[in-house]
Amino acid sequence: IQSIDVVDFSGTEGASSFHRLEDVELDVQAYELHAGSDGGAIGVSEEGGEGDDEESIPQLNILALPSETLKGIWESLIFATPIHSKLLRFTTRMMSISRKQFLNSAALNWNRLIMLHGPPGSGKTSLCRALAQKLTIRLGRFFTTGKLVEINSQSLLSKWFGESGKLVSKTFDRIQSLSDDETTIVCVLIDEVESLTASREKSATGNECGDAMRATNQLLTGLDRLRHRPNVIVLCTSNLVMAIDSAFLDRVDVKQFVPNPEPRAVYEILRSCLNELIRCEIITTTGHQEQVSPTSDSATDDSYPDSSFVLVDQASIPSFAEMNVHLWDQPNSPAMRLWNIAQKCESMSGRSLRRLPALALAMHTFSDPCSIYEALEALSVEV
């Protein structure tokens, strides 16, 4: 056994986040992470087989789940509200229900189709991948193996007239063959789904090529075929919901908006990045506060003495909740300075925020390792 993690509580939400061991029922899932991909990138050739010619572009990327490459993504997702936890609870429940024997799936009209939409860089694709990883682990009592099948939407739009619809159809044929083994959960990810589901009504009234309409028709047909497979779930992302065909939107079971992070979530994202740099000894938490440059845009006050702060944990920056309790009256502490920085980043995407600390160190610091005060000053300048 490499590690044991307590990760979640699936009961009703209460006022307290603490639970007594004697009041809960433990659900233990043992799993082993796969080192690499399973099948790699697969192209669909014109003849219907797996394409291996020079012009063949991979339409599918298949990854065995749970995967070592997806480890830690779930924990890195930080939202103002627990979007990821609610999605995991919902999908786990519905996948379990859909496997009930003698259940009439037509009566429920459950397509197992989830769409995440929101601004670019908000974490939609990462959330889909992490959700597939978590589902494979949580549903281990039903499925012995799992596969994440990522569809390359752009590669399905052929330059040859009439080929796009054929490529979409053959792609779903491949997915169906992967799902023939009922002990394997198949998580299909369609990133930027608007590329394949453009509104047919707008295409018909405009001067667009009818090939895009055929691709949309084939995609809808393929999804209808997959809905009868209880071991398949389809996850898709979009930045342009208004451009998507209404028939596709009608098939979606859950439409979840993923916004850019709010200040509290920004703090936690930046905190996790800085703590990782501290763990790797790129940043040190020892020493005294250095003099702030007068040209800096820092929101701190130089009138506070060097000893006016205490880290809750000397080896890391505390969480937002800990900061509010222990450091609310110490505005010159690293945590409070980070909070001041976080409030300036509200409009930034999660993707951009994760780049900021390393970018700030590379652009505005010179010592190696640098102190936490140098790092925060550099981060303030970069923002």
> What is the 8-class DSSP label of residue 155?
G
> What is the 8-class DSSP label of residue 369?
S
> Measured between alpha carbons, how far is 286 from 185 in angstroms, rounded to an integer?
48
> Measured between alpha carbons, how far is 140 from 27 in angstroms, rounded to an integer?
11
What is the per-residue pLDDT across 144-199, written as a single tens digit (0 to 9) for each?
Answer: 999 999 998 877 876 666 678 888 989 999 999 999 999 999 999 999 999 888 87
β-bridge mates for residue 285, sequence order: none
Assign 3-state DSSP to the chain and report helix, strand, coil percentages, each to 5. Answer: 40, 15, 45
Check whether 36 has a pLDDT greater than 80.
no
Tell me what the pLDDT averaged over the chain comes to. 83
What is the per-residue pLDDT across 329-367, written as a single tens digit (0 to 9) for each?
Answer: 888 889 999 999 999 998 899 999 999 999 999 999 998
**Rounded mean pLDDT of 112-130?**
95
CB 83 within 8 A of CB 116: no
Contacts of 30 (CB under 8 A, 6+ apart): 140
Tokens encoding 252: 């979606």
pLDDT at 46: 46
- Side by side, the strands of the sheet bearing 145-151 are 50-51, 40-44, 60-65, 145-151, 184-190, 232-238, 113-117, 254-257
Whose CA is closest to 298, among 262, 328, 331, 260? 331
Check whether 273 has a pLDDT greater than 90.
yes
Side-chain-side CA neighbours of 299 within 13 Å: the count stands at 16
| pLDDT band at residue 291 using 50, 70 and 90 as cut-offs | very low
209 vs 266 pLDDT, higher one:
266
Q: Is the peptide bond before 66 cis (omega within 30 degrees of 0)?
A: yes
What is the per-residue pLDDT across 220-263, written as a single tens digit (0 to 9) for each?
Answer: 999 999 998 999 999 999 999 998 999 999 999 999 999 999 99
Check whether 274 has a pLDDT greater than 50.
yes
Most confident of 196-200, 207-211, 261-265, 295-299: 261-265
Cβ count within 10 A of residue 44: 24
Check whether 286 has a pLDDT greater than 50.
yes
pLDDT at 267: 95
Q: Which amino acid is at 374?
A: E
CB 196 within 8 A of CB 153: yes
pTM score > 0.75 for this model?
Answer: yes
Whose CA is closest to 160, among 42, 53, 45? 45
